[in-house]
Structure 1
């Protein structure tokens, strides 16, 4: 099974969905818990038919859906087909998608020796090696953010070495960036945009606003 690049997924025309890291995600505005439960049941039936199973979070008043192909560590035609079918069952139920509301985050730790540092964070958080990337750590219950380790060329004691990567839909990045600047943030670098922008709060704590666009890995 071949993984798809972000552009290949975008070319499939899935208006209800957004690519975030190695996943397709969406939010369905159900308006009630009962409607959400009905939608989850229909999603489960489609997933069984296709033998491809998404992560589904039922909340009041929405349902969050995430799909990826764990066996290859990325998105495939299976995810595109599943997303399209899920959109159809939601439409049949009269439930609208709000993909602009999805997002996820990672914690980046700058290190000189990832092999020495990683076991500490794995133990203290109770995390496991990420199925999609063995250099990353993930919450086995799927609740906490992924932890990844950024290799440094030299120690940087003068600045923070832990930062947040905030992943947003590509069509929401500019708005999120502006909102952060309006809230007192500073733009440190846009050299890698639209892959990511580096920002800092008034005391210099850093965060990156990230999208899946213009990334070599897709």
Structure 2
């Protein structure tokens, strides 16, 4: 059996093109030729994201979510400043800030947010 070389993360949503544009803006991804409901890393490093239309709305917390890694290697106030700066950039795109998970003995702080259809993600 050949090893898996790539993955695609698929989101159920009501408006795939709108959600794809949101995530392209968040991650610096681009829409691939011929696909308004997907986005790809222009450098070929990150996974492809695909957005599929479903009739039902979101009703519970995501079991899987994306972590947008903006604070990697940072700690304390420097990390919080990076998270807050990214949050400020994403709010005008339609993201919603939910709450800050403060640092503890095991983890650094992260900021929990929602995309334009209510899917949770973290600024980490």
Does TM-score exceed 0.5, indicating one fold? no
Q: The TM-score by the shorter chain falls in which range?
A: 0.3 to 0.5
Higher relative contact order (CA 8 A, sep 6+): 2
So what's the TM-score if we normalise by structure 2?
Answer: 0.44
So what's the TM-score if we normalise by structure 1?
Answer: 0.27
Larger Rg: 1
Greater helix content: 1
